[in-house]
Chain A
Amino acid sequence: MGSYFLDGTPVLEIAIRNPFLNKTFPAEGKVVAIIDTGFEGFLLVPKDVFEKLSLDQLSVDKRRLILADGQYTQSIGTYGEVVIPNFNVKFDGFIETIRGVEEIVIGTGLMENLKLILDYCTRRIEIEACKKP
């Protein structure tokens, strides 16, 4: 399976890695991540996930996220890997967190590596990695 609609929201099962400190979340198996085309980052995770990956032990960068109401909030983040086990691919990118976020959110920064077809008619999602020329 790997990707499906959860109450109408497209989700993808992933694992997240900090290759520098050899930490993986979840420690076994996969976790559900929401696909959000409105998020321009790579991956957003709750603070506890960020800490379980020991990403907070690397030096973090800060940036601002524009919220849906036009307000700003500050995120912190550093680089890590997203593994998509069902498709046997992984991508490197900026993994960030903000206070109060409770979901793992995949943004367009990660999606730009994927061909993604959301078929609401048949409730199916097709995903494959971009082919390199």
Chain B
Amino acid sequence: MGTLTISLDDDIEKRLRELVRRMHGSRKGGLSKVIESALENYFASVNRSINSGEIFKALKEDEVVAEANTLDELASILRKKRIEVRGLRIVSSRPIRPVVHGGYRIKRS
């Protein structure tokens, strides 16, 4: 268990202490729990954003014919193997979500 000494902006500190009070009352360790939880969320968010370890695969009739860390590499492998790319299905190790918000620019056609 590590101990950190950090400096916070006054307003951030005030909001943090209010949040701790709301979530944990005056129980000991509340501040550490909130900070740990906030950092866990931040780490998860940063890890998602750096695209680490994503693998792309090319599938022909559900059989993986090539895989690589980038689409450029995948295309290069397919060219070397002389595999016809038309009709290939490209998938990622980070699968697409089946339903997402479309934003506000899209109008119903």
Contacts and interface: CB of A to CB of B under 8 A. Distances in A.
Interface of A: 19-22, 34, 36-41, 44, 57-59, 61, 63-69, 71-73, 75, 77-81, 91-92, 94, 98-101, 103, 105, 107, 112-113, 130, 132-133
A36 B101 CA distance: 11
A61 B98 CA distance: 10
A54 to B, nearest CB: 8
B75 interface: yes
B49 A112 contact: yes
6 contacts: A34-B105, A40-B100, A66-B102, A67-B108, A73-B102, A105-B103
Nearest to A61: B96
Contact of B102 (A37, A67, A80): A67
Interface of B: 46, 48-52, 54, 56, 59, 70-72, 74-75, 78, 85-92, 96-109
B89 A80 contact: no
A59 B108 contact: no
Given A21-B85, A63-B97, A36 B50 contact: no
B109 A99 contact: yes
B17 to A, nearest CB: 29
Contacts of A34: 105
B100 A112 contact: no
A59 B107 contact: no
In order of increasing CB-CB distance, the 8 nearest A-B pairs are A100-B109, A39-B103, A65-B102, A38-B103, A59-B89, A40-B100, A19-B75, A36-B103
B101 A63 contact: no
A39 B71 contact: no
A21 B105 CA distance: 29
Nearest to B54: A92
Contacts of B71: 19-20, 79-81, 92
A64 B101 CA distance: 9
A37 B100 CA distance: 12
A81 B72 contact: yes
Contacts of A19: 71-72, 74-75
Contacts of B89: 58-59, 61, 78
Given A79-B56, A79-B71, A113 B51 contact: yes
A95 to B, nearest CB: 10
